[in-house]
Chain A
Amino acid sequence: MSFAAEHIGFVIASYALSAIVIAGLIAGHILRAHQVERRLKRLEDAGAPRRRKATEVPNEQ
């Protein structure tokens, strides 16, 4: 890829924007997963029942 080419700024901007959005998505998912796991562990340590029966479904409906 030639960095002296015409309109190269649009190419760089496209890749930079894609990288930022994808990095944000990944970071958001990791943070949420860790947050939920941490709260689960804290609750389990506080004495809440550790496991549900395998047949039960944690469905909110």
Chain B
Amino acid sequence: MQKFANPTRFLRLQSAIQPWVVAATIVLFAAGLYSGLVMAPPDYQQGETVRIMFVHVPAAWLALMIYSIMALSSAVAIVFRHPLADLAAKTAAPIGAAFTFLALATGSLWGKPMWGAWWVWDAGLTSMFVLFLLYLGYIAVWQAIEDPARGALIARIVALVGFINIPIIKFSVDWWNSLHQPASVFRIDGPAIHSSILIPLLIMATAYTMLFLALHLSAMRAEINARKLRQMELAHVGSS
């Protein structure tokens, strides 16, 4: 891991893999949308509204995964002092916030026709809303604190403390009564949904993951360059 601690080496690696990640994202989205909107049958109970699953569930998975990556990066920054770890967490946060917003909004659009309500304050939905607030809080810490070292320290604490919420979201639908259905893909006794729905869902989830990777790599590159720019501007001002 320390091998990639050097930003120059990271930028070289990013340049090499970025086109492949973008190409894979486009192909997977095309395949996922075709299989989800054309090939998959309507559900016998939910009808066509089941197709909301193909944009809602991957967004929700990504929301949890990205926050976990931020917490892991923060832990790596504390333990190993990896120079890119804070940068990885910082640049992942806006993407995670966008996916969390999408999970909440598409969930609401799915809930209205299925439950008869746009929103209910049950454990699953509320803990997801708390995750959205945690993302915003994390972003606000970086924006609000001028001293980057102090900002990084507080941001790490927010990421690690907020990680407590991740298992709560994952298991809330099993632990408490909720309008939200229990886990139907990642279960000990296997997925509870038919392969005609499961396959498009997994393709879309992979497409979302590749999209995150493409955006994250690009954002990390921009952040490294932005830091380089600030240092060059300071040096330039100092020398002139």
Q: In the complex, A10→B51 CA distance in Å?
A: 10
Closest beta carbon of chain B to A4's beta carbon, Å: 9
B234 (CB) vs chain A CBs: closest residue? A48
Closest beta carbon of chain A to B43's beta carbon, Å: 11
Query: Pick the contact of A14 from B109, B227, B235 — CB < 8 Å?
Result: B109
B231 at interface by CB-CB < 8 Å: yes
Q: Is the CB of A57 within 8 A of B215?
A: no
Q: Is the CB of A7 within 8 A of B47?
A: yes
Q: Is the CB of A48 within 8 A of B236?
A: yes
Q: In the complex, A2→B50 CA distance in Å?
A: 12
Given A25-B98, A60-B148, check contact A7 B48 (CB 8 Å).
yes
Q: Is the CB of A36 within 8 A of B229?
A: yes
Q: How large is the interface on A (under 10, 10 to 19, 20 to 34, 35 or more residues)?
A: 35 or more
Main secondary structure of the interface of B (DSSP, over half): helix
| Chain A residues in 8 Å Cβ range of B5 | 57
Q: Is the CB of A58 within 8 A of B228?
A: yes
Q: In the complex, A59→B7 CA distance in Å?
A: 10
Seen from chain A, the residues whose Cβ lies within 8 Å of a Cβ on chain B are 1-2, 5-8, 10-11, 13-15, 17-18, 21-22, 24-26, 29-30, 32-33, 36-37, 39-40, 43-44, 46-49, 52, 54-55, 57-61
B236 (CB) vs chain A CBs: closest residue? A48
Q: In the complex, A29→B214 CA distance in Å?
A: 10
Main secondary structure of the interface of A (DSSP, over half): helix
B178 at interface by CB-CB < 8 Å: no
Interface size (B, Cβ < 8 Å)?
50
Seen from chain B, the residues whose Cβ lies within 8 Å of a Cβ on chain A are 5-9, 37-38, 42, 47-49, 51-52, 55-56, 59, 83, 86, 94-95, 98, 101-102, 105-106, 109-110, 112-113, 148-149, 152, 211, 215, 218-219, 221-222, 224-233, 235-236
Q: Is the CB of A6 within 8 A of B227?
A: no
| Chain B residues in 8 Å Cβ range of A6 | 47-48, 113
| Chain A residues in 8 Å Cβ range of B83 | 57, 59
Closest beta carbon of chain A to B163's beta carbon, Å: 22
Q: In the complex, A39→B236 CA distance in Å?
A: 13
Q: Is the CB of A14 within 8 A of B225?
A: no
Query: Pick the contact of A43 from B56, B218, B224, B232 — CB < 8 Å?
Result: B232
